[in-house]
Every structure is written in C-alpha cells, then in structure tokens.
Amino acid sequence: MSTTRTPRTTTATYAAYAAAVLFALHLATYFAPALRDATLATAASLAVPLAVLAVAQHLVVFPVVAALPAPRWARAAAYVWLVFDMGTDLLQFGGTSKSVYLVLRLAVNILAALWIASASWRAGGALRGIGLFVALDTVAYFCVGLFFAWAFVVTLPSLILLPVWFALVGRSLAGMPASRHAEQPTATVHAR
C-alpha cells in the first residue's frame, strides 16, 4: 500500500480546509440581517461579495467530493447539490422570492446530507459522528424549514458543525494513503 500523497489528495486536503473557512465565514453572515438579506436590488455592494463567497464555498468542495471515499451515487448526489445550491444562492442574491429559492435549497440539501452521511459512515471517530449528525440535522431542517419561522434553530447546529466536519475531512485526507483515494466501488458481475 502506497502512502505517497498525490496532487489530487493534496488539492482535496487544501480544498476541505478552504471549505471549512468559507462555510464558517458564510455562517457569520446569517447573524447580520443586512448581510443575510442583501440582494442586488437592496444592497449590491454587499450582495456581490456575498454571492462570490457563496459560490466559492461550493466550488472548493468539488475536489473534496472527488477524493473522499464514498459510493458513486453519493458523489453524484454531492455534485448535484453543489451545482443547484450555487444556483439557489444566486437566486437569493438576485432578489428571487424566498418561497422559490428556499424550496429548491432545502430539496438539494437532502443530496448533501446523503453524501455527508455516506462519506462519514465510511470514516470513524469524530468525522463519523459529526458527519452523521450534520446529515440528520439537515434532513430535520428540510422537514420543518418551510413551515415554521423558528426552523432556523433546527439547522443552526449543522451550520456550525459543517465547517468542523470539513476541517476533519481535510485532516483525514491529509493522512490518507494515496491508494485509498484510488479505491472506487465497482459492481461485480458473476457469470452463471
């Protein structure tokens, strides 16, 4: 088993750490209504940097999805989540009604929960525990997010723990042998 690091592993490691920082920065904007609710029509000077932050936090996750061991269907779910979640962020900053972008965001966050849960399940320790909690909390928010004004408190733990999870993913990827990244689950067909 080779323990050398590949460029893909190194990129994914740094990307996971960058995701931790960017998701934490974005979380901070939720507590300032002027930032959280900024749109191009109401505060373009705030909305543009926030849109860049929202897109950047998702873009850096692509190499993480590629490198973190997970089933192919979970990776596919993660890629769909990333693309559509960036779209909902842009819809929000463009001034689209919350009843439109939030429905889409909640739906695609279920895909994020699937990826996080499946990748976390394969890990151990805090990465597994925090990842499974984030995934379950994300699903819980999906169930109540549209119906209750106080639903934000349901997702707050996962919003706080998601950057922690990405930092743990970065640490895991930094210590993972290159051969483990190359493992791809394959279907075996047996001839009769």
Domains of the chain, by residue range, sit at: 7-176
User: d(Cα 139, Cα 133) in Å, to the nearest integer?
Assistant: 10
pLDDT of residue 149: 79
Tokens of 39: 């749109």
Which pLDDT does position 188 carry in this prediction?
37
Banded model confidence at residue 177, pLDDT cuts 50, 70, 90: low
Note the pLDDT of residue 185.
44
Helix/strand/coil for 96: coil
pTM passes above 0.75? yes
User: Residue 123 gets which letter from DSSP?
Assistant: S
pLDDT-derived band at 77, boundaries 50, 70, 90: very high
At 45, list the tokens. Answer: 């000077």
* Residue 187, helix vs strand vs coil: coil
